[in-house]
Structure 1
Amino acid sequence: MKILKMLHVLVGCLALGVFARGQQNPGFISIDCGAPNDYHDDQLDIYYKADTGFVDSGTNMQVSTQVIYQDNQQQSKNLRIFSSGIRNCYTLMPDKGKGNTYLVRASFWYGNYDGKNQTPAFDLHIDVNYWITVNSPYYVCAEIIYTPPRDYIQVCLVNTGSGVPFISALELRILDNSTYQINSGALITQWRYNLGSIDTYRHPQDVCDRIWNNNTYSGGLSSVSNTTAIVTSTSNDAYEVPPEVLMTATQAQNVTDPLSLSWTSHNSTTIWNLSSSGLKGLVATSISNLTAVVSLDLSNNSLTGSVPDFLAQMPSLKILNLSGNNLNGSVPQTLLKKMTDGSLLLSLDGNPNLCQSDGCQTSVQSKKKGISIAPIIASVAAALVLILVGALAVLWKIKRRQIQNVTTTTTTTNSTREFTGTLRLSKNQLFTSTEITRITDNFGTIIGEGGFGKVYLGRLDNGTKVAVKMLSRSSKQGYKEFHAEAQLLMVVHHRNLVSLIGYCEEFENMALIYEFMFHGNVQQHLSAQNPNVLSWSQRLQIAIDAAQGLEYLHNGCRPPIVHRDLKTPNILLNKNMQAKIADFGLSKAFATEHDSHISTHVAGTFGYLDPEFYTSGNLSKKSDVYSFGVVLFELITGRLAIMRSPEGSSMHILHWVTPLIERGDIQSIVDPRLNGQFSINSAWKAVEIAMSCVPIMAVQRPDMNHVLSELKECLTAEIGSGRIESFEITSIDVEITPSAR
């Protein structure tokens, strides 16, 4: 949003003066959409503002004179319509800002304002999140309890091609955070009944201006009322129910009859997010009763026991995240099968005692048959120790094949946690220059080149393909940097980081041997010349994979590691299209866990580099967040970070996309090669996530754990649209793999 536009909003909000923000209604924002002027509603004792200053588009209209008196609410007489643009938004800036809980209410009354008697249908969003679809000839009142991630809230009307969107009133009310305890996200409310009463109450009876609709049930139920005034001032009720509401009730006419109240929910899908919620013990079997749950995130808790098989029987479940717990045993085959066939996105990382392979079954069967395998393990271990000692003795005598038991330990000043790792011979082999020459077929196939040197295609003796990165003699990066990268790669392991297989440390022939990434890098797949177009869900999964790798470097390593050169050429895809981050080996670790930045020589790539670096010379975790935002925009748009015209001029992707975002033109933002095959809600959320990563000031950018959480919700929105598919791609004729630094 341009500064001028933001100032326009600020001026409009400050103009509330002593009205919505003053002593009369503190914590309220009350907008009569389409009203010609401000006014005081005497019945509600609320000051309402016209919507000038809250929205910069749309046209004021009045409902038909034939229906204007059918409802005595002043706020239903006018409305604002939006006949142009796909997405038109009101911007609300509450005094308390982000992290607080608000009740947001939007009201709609078509009132045949255009004389056509054709009720339009359109979507309502809060920020980028889908709220409801408005499609009714009657008065509609939508409520949501919302904790915004920013200091302002946008309520947006989205044209879905079924008529002109409109709105009658928009209201915001501050709530006590203890009333509805939602630390983040939203809670949609649909009913709030004043049972046993013919009266409806809201403000001033309810200080939060919640609406308590009258309701008298029939069919064996009767209404009762209290004859004594109820005093609530001494009550500890956090919900602050008005005394007038508590004065009436509904009861069964016969003491032996059950009291049964029922209503129909309009929500067909329930989505949970219980990550980092302090959950302990076994996964409750009652979860299986939630048949409409699409996404179940139980990550980063203290769950124990085995992964229950009933999770595979939940009919609507598409995403299951159990990572970061203490689960043990083997993963049910039914879940693994659903993950394999692409019908379930399953995350199990961070459960050290959980076995995810078929080999677990053998161990289980052995225990069932009473076979003691402890003596076998002891014997094998002893033999392996003898072999290892002998091997080390031989290697110690050979100067050029000297192996160090590498233990990198950096103890931070403010933390007792350590960054440690030990060289494992089975996974990180030491190669001679002769072996390097053989496995690369005398350096026959170059598959990449960068500042470090050339990258060659290699093949190990067992047939495994590898990528061999050679340090060129002309490289600005020497032995010290090479040794730093080798040691770092040997102790940093994550499924979304490219793995080091081995290295050659001979001074004239230094090389790093990586796993071969069959599908090359992300930039190659976004190229217009690539016939295999990445689907929208594939792009989201790639973004999540990359975010997981980056989040591990930032928050899973102690001290944290800054990549310093994150870009689409450094995000690689394996045979299963799983994304992994490469070329983080020359990153610098923080001196302490709480350091805010590091100073270093010029690093990064133009177009991805943190704008603050040019003025401060400092790189930090937030610098990587900026680079990730640019990467995410590349995935969304299919365009390069720096776009060049045939005439030779260039434009940064942020300069290109910002005007389109302000116009709400999502169709022009998303890669046209997708041919509209994406969820509008999911696309807008991805755009918002990307925008949150790229403010000029680093302090305004989120941490990667927040970005990762938002991206998972974005994929959930895509899955909820029914567009999810298996993440597969047709084989590419030419084998491609990472470029070097």
Structure 2
Amino acid sequence: MAARSWLFILCFAVAAAGILQIRAQPDLKGFISIDCGLEGKTGYLDDKTNLSYVPDDGFTDAGTNHNISVEYMTPLISKRNYNLRSFPDGERNCYTIRSLVPGLKYLIRGTFMYGNYDGLNRLPVFDLYIGDNFITVVNITRPDGAALEETIVVVPDDFVQVCLVNTGGGTPFISGLDLRPLKNTLYPQVTETQGLSLFGRRNFGPTSNTEIIRYPDDPHDRVWIPWINPIDWAVVSTTMTVQNLENDIFEAPSPVMRTAITPRNASGNIEFAWEAYAQPKDPVPGYVANLHFTEVQLLPSNTVREFYINLNGKLLYNESYRPAYLYADAIYNSKPFLRYPLYNMSINATSNSTLPPIINTIEVFSIMPTANVGTNSLDASAMMAIEAKYHVKKNWMGDPCVPKTLAWDSLTCSYATSGRPRITSLNLTSSGLRGDISSSFASLTAVQSLNLSNNNLTGSIPDALAQLPLLTVLDLTGNQLSGSIPSGLLKRIQDGSLDLSSSLQLENRRFTYRELEMMTDNFQRELGRGGFGCVYDGFLEDHTRVAVKLMFKNSKQGEKEFLAEAQILIRIHHKNLVSMIGYIKDGDNMALVYEYMSEGTLQEHIAGLEYLHKGCNPPLVHRDVKATNILLNAMLEAKIADFGLSKAFNRNNDTHVSTNTLAGTLGYVDPEFVIPSTLFNLVFQISLILVTGKPALLRDLDNTSIIQWVQQHLARGNIEDVVDARMHGDHDINSVWKVVDIALKCTMQESIQRPTITDVVTMLQECIELENRHQKEYTANSENHNSSYNAYGVDQSTNVIQSNDAFEVGHNIARVPAMTTGPVAR
């Protein structure tokens, strides 16, 4: 018989890569069926297959939806071919299908029905890829026909990307996309480095061209297309069930295997042929074929059906073959045939055969190399999540790094000879990013430079970024970030392994000495001074008022206390603790920049210590609480400052704080100095100061302690003798008695006799309630305190430091490298 060209130009391919998270999960069979271009969010149930189809907007965020021309909407056309999605913009546009099983084989199928949807009558040609592996050229030859492209591959990750690439031959489009999981025992030709692209899957024996077999008749939803040639072939069939052999490697379905053909001339051969489908990237494709056989007739004992199979005149199978009755079997090749422009196949009866040859169905595939591996799966997943969160308007489609010619903008990849490509740098400056910093950046474990500057990022800096082992440059400038620099990043900065540019709002900014000169107008206005240095009035670029605490170069407190205070204020935050905006460590110049407290130091109020002892992790002992270390803002909110002498306390393991080192100011030092819950001698001397208006040590009375002075006066039985005359009687006598009583209880010599801080807070709240009932109007600040602004703990009282062990600093801010305005060129 003359060689007949198959209409096999059903080259099945899957090109995939999208960045949106999938909204539809696989069904119970693991199937995913997508109607591309379907409007809305609701899918439907196909009335023929009973499969659920979903819209494609959850799989890609590119392209536009269209309907084919009405003239092509015929009953013979599948419903989902009525609409499509086209991709006029960008070179590569992709779908991402998630929730897959890594290492499993999948059948991936795309359908393409042009139907003159754009009214141009121009049949497009474009490329299909799965990930970074080229599958086939989609060549639309008719506006009224649906092209089918199918491939079987091992999916290495938990997602697969199907991509359409514009090669200049017209706008890519797609009508439908299906994914079907397969057992790993099926199709042994498919490996991790080799896939199969379907050339044709033909069912011999149906009597109608519309008799297409797929799911549910084929549990794997393969599409078996009829091949009818009544002139040359006769049909034989059975109504019995054709079974698969145990461990069948193809599992051809029974409805397909129940029909077969024989030559109409009983002494003739079965002959058919196909032409090689040459493509620019695969001009001489190699093919494999799976020929499926079963005997559909119960043969008498004196009859034999036996035949040879030949390809281009050579035996395809070295032995003669007899099909088994009602059991599906196959003859196939694992390696591609020799490459020919035309493949002629002939099935010939042997001399022993009394019956003509038969064949039930055939699958022909071209070999598709899949050795090109995509970007490291963690990197790829992270970048997809980043794109989905920020909707980056770049060519972010498909695999981030491969192929190199289509790699994503704004990132750099490394291409090692072994292993998968890794993302080594990411530059998203001025990319319109909004919201918080995605945790997915922390999954880019090979990244060395990360630039997120000049966006609209808000919130805090994730500490997880410190876990990026190779990160050396991190630029976060030009955002609206807040909070403190995480301790892990700070440590990296201190040890010199990371350059960080970070403009945090009002917190933890690093300044240069020149910037301090500018913000303080060359240190014109002094707010206060003490053992550490001077505090100056200043303003940031946005006119926010700040206080700059500049250390004397010959300060007794020295660098260690500076580092201690900076380290503590980086990691603790409370409404009653002064906030550090930034710092400078520029050679010998050291300074801390704080929020400005307009009402100066506390001589009358106190709050915030319960947080240090109970809420802070680890708990902290301040060790220098006094009126001049408690500041007031314009709302008369009190905030504790000066943490240079503070000591951390491990609540889980420590039973006490080491007292080997005594630190603090004379008159405020706890005589026992044991554990945080009872450290109130120093605290409630201040309570007495609030009531009496007198200092902790009465220097005009031979440095008499205020505790002794109050006890002496209370012995006379009149509280008014100790109350500050400046109150002018404007107080509730019961609340004053209660405050004094609390203060004296807190100054008991033995710590076990003192109340806990929680008890103290409760009792003081009761005092406040008494005062609120007593006073209709309360003026907390009736005097001008500007003249007494010894701000931020730099008063002129003598600091007691009896060893160099005042505070053990975990991180050395002194080693912080100088900041740059952007990433360092590498």
> Do both share a fold (TM > 0.5)?
no
Higher helix share: 1
Return the structure number with greater strand share.
2
TM-score (norm 1): 0.40
